[in-house]
C-alpha cells in the first residue's frame, strides 16, 4: 500500500517524503511502531524501477538515518519531561541506564538495528548522561550502514517482489478462506455445545 501511495509522486517529492519519514521515525516517538526501514525498502524498490537513481537513494537513506538519530539524541538531552526521562525513573529506566553505562556506545550501535530501539536508544543514551562525544562515533557508522542496507535490500528485492507478488496475493486469499472456514466450524461446534 505504501508503494502505491508514494508511487504517484514525482521522483524528488517521493525522495523528500521518504527522507522525512525516516527522520521522523527516529526523531519522534512514533518510530516505535512505524519503522523507517519500510520507507527505505520502498525507496530501494522504486530506485530499481528507475524512479530514483540508486546513488541518490543511498545518500538520502544515510543522511535521513543520521539526522533522525541525532534529533532523537537531542530530544533526550534537551527535553527533560520527554518520554525517555519518565521511563528512566522506573525499573526499565534503571535497566536502560545499566546497559548504557556498562556498554555505552556499543549499546547505541546495537540499538540502531532493533525495532523501536532506533527511536528510543538515542533518547535513553542522552537522558542517561552519555556524552555526544561518546554517542557520535558509535551512531555515525551504525546509522549510515542501516540506511544503506535497507535501500540495497529494497533494490535487490524489487525484482523478486514483482515476480512473486501474485503468488503472495493468492496465498493470502487462500489463508483468509481457510481461516474463515475454520472459524465457522469452531462457531458451529460452540453452538452445538451450547444447545446440548
- 77, 127 Cβ separation under 8 angstroms: yes
DSSP, res 113? T
**Domains in the chain: boundaries:** 2-162
Question: What is the rounded CA–CA span in Å between residue 160 and residue 131?
Answer: 43
What is the C-alpha to C-alpha distance for residues 92 and 22, in angstroms, rounded to an integer? 26
pTM over 0.85: no
* Each residue's pLDDT tens digit, 14-52: 778 788 778 877 777 665 566 788 888 888 888 888 888
> Across residues 63-87, what is the average pLDDT?
76
Are 42 and 158 contacting, i.e. CB atoms less than 8 angstroms apart? no
* Cα gap 5→16, rounded to integer Å: 14
Amino acid at each position: 500500500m505504501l508503494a502505491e501511495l508514494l508511487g504517484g509522486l514525482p521522483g524528488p517529492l517521493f525522495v523528500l517524503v521518504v527522507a522525512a519519514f525516516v527522520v521522523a521515525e527516529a526523531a519522534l516517538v512514533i518510530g516505535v511502531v512505524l519503522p523507517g526501514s519500510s520507507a527505505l525498502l520502498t525507496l530501494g524498490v522504486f530506485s530499481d524501477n528507475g524512479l530514483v537513481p540508486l546513488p541518490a537513494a543511498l545518500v538520502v537513506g544515510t543522511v535521513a538515518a543520521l539526522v533522525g538519530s541525532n534529533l532523537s539524541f537531542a530530544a533526550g538531552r534537551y527535553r527533560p519531561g520527554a518520554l525517555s526521562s519518565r521511563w528512566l525513573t522506573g525499573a526499565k529506566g534503571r535497566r536502560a541506564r545499566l546497559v548504557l553505562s556498562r556498554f555505552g556506545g556499543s549499546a547505541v550501535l546495537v540499538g540502531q538495528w532493533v525495532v523501536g530501539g532506533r527511536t528510543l536508544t538515542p533518547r535513553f543514551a542522552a537522558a542517561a548522561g552519555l556524552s555526544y562525544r561518546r554517542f557520535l562515533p558509535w551512531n555515525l557508522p551504525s546509522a549510515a550502514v542501516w540506511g544503506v542496507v535497507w535501500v540495497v535490500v529494497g533494490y535487490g528485492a524489487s525484482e523478486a517482489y514483482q515476480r512473486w507478488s501474485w503468488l503472495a496475493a493468492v496465498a493470502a486469499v487462500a489463508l483468509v478462506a481457510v481461516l474463515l472456514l475454520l472459524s465457522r466450524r469452531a462457531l458451529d461446534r460452540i453452538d452445538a455445545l451450547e444447545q446440548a
